[in-house]
Amino acid sequence: MSKIIVAIDGPAGAGKSTIAKLVAGEIGADYIDTGAMYRAVALKLLRTGTDYNDPEALGTLLEAVDVDFSEGRTMLDGEDVSGLIRTPEISALASPSSAIPAVRYKLTDLQQEMGRRKSIVMDGRDIGTVVFPDADFKFFLTASADERARRRTNEMLEKGQEADFEQIKADIIQRDYQDSHREFRPLKKADDAIEIDSSDMTIQQVVDTMMSYIRGEA
């Protein structure tokens, strides 16, 4: 297959990263989790006590920040922060800070650069609409808020973490609202994206559905 770009967008907890990783494996592409990049910036904001509403301080931080996603690891200024960015605190900060245009310009540039040379499967909120509007394949992956909260609760329980279904569901609904109502580049289905509701589908069924489009069988 020649170089291809697959964009997978959708709300929090729809299974984008699991699915994107598997699709990337099937087609021999690199997988890039753009949410992890927004989370890494949020971690840096937190660590340095920077207010994202202070344009000067934010500009200084963004000029110096080095965010990369490679081989499944999220790197912040050369440090592997893959584990550190998966906390409710970072989820809560990544959503409003990702609404700031300067943050989005910076990470969009980095993401476009990543797709210049290699085949990639990239997941996020604005990949099919802004980062790669000419992507070869665009998918919009959704699932009901109940189902997404159920999956997240089970994931946490399996890891031995405490999980409160109602709290998780409330957090998901709030992030959906923030991500899709922000003024600048909100979460939105691209007009030409294929929408897949995974509420009643297994992971493999979703991967197979995407692969049938990519192989030109659908």
- The answer to whether the beta carbons of residues 40 and 32 sit under 8 Å apart is no
Position among 6, 12, 24, 93 found at the interface with ligand DC (CB under 6 A): 12
Helix (H/G/I), strand (E/B), else coil: 74: strand
- Give, as one character, the DSSP assignment of residue 152: H
- The answer to whether the beta carbons of residues 15 and 59 sit under 8 Å apart is no
Position among 126, 138, 142, 148 found at the interface with ligand DC (CB under 6 A): 126
Q: How far is CA 38 from CA 95, 125, 192, in A?
A: 8, 11, 25
Question: Using alpha carbons only, what angle is made at residue 133 by residues 128 and 136, rounded to the nearest 5 degrees?
Answer: 80
Residue type, 165: F
Q: According to the binding rule CB under 6 A, does residue 95 interact with ligand DC?
A: yes
Short-list 39, 26, 43, 34, CA closest to 10: 34
Residues in the chain: 218
Q: According to the binding rule CB under 6 A, does residue 32 interact with ligand DC?
A: no
Q: According to the binding rule CB under 6 A, does residue 38 interact with ligand DC?
A: yes
| Residue 217 Cβ vs ligand DC, minimum distance, rounded to whole Å | 28
Q: According to the binding rule CB under 6 A, does residue 138 interact with ligand DC?
A: no
| Residue 65 Cβ vs ligand DC, minimum distance, rounded to whole Å | 15
| Residue 32 Cβ vs ligand DC, minimum distance, rounded to whole Å | 10
Q: According to the binding rule CB under 6 A, does residue 15 interact with ligand DC?
A: no
Q: According to the binding rule CB under 6 A, does residue 139 interact with ligand DC?
A: no
Structure tokens belonging to residue 86: 């998966």
Which is nearer to ligand DC, 188 or 213 (by Cβ)? 188
Q: According to the binding rule CB under 6 A, does residue 11 interact with ligand DC?
A: no
Q: How many residues bind ligand DC (CB under 6 A)?
A: 13
**Sequence-distant (≥ 6) Cβ neighbours of residue 51 within 8 angstroms:** 57, 58
Q: According to the binding rule CB under 6 A, does residue 98 interact with ligand DC?
A: yes
Which is nearer to ligand DC, 95 or 153 (by Cβ)? 95
Residue type, 171: D
Q: According to the binding rule CB under 6 A, does residue 171 interact with ligand DC?
A: no
Interacting stretch for ligand DC, rule CB under 6 A, among 22-30, 120-128, 157-165, 204-212? Answer: 120-128
- As a whole number of angstroms, the distance between CA 172 and CA 41 comes to 20
Q: Which residues form the interface with ligand DC (CB under 6 A)?
A: 12, 34-35, 38-39, 94-95, 98, 124-126, 175, 179
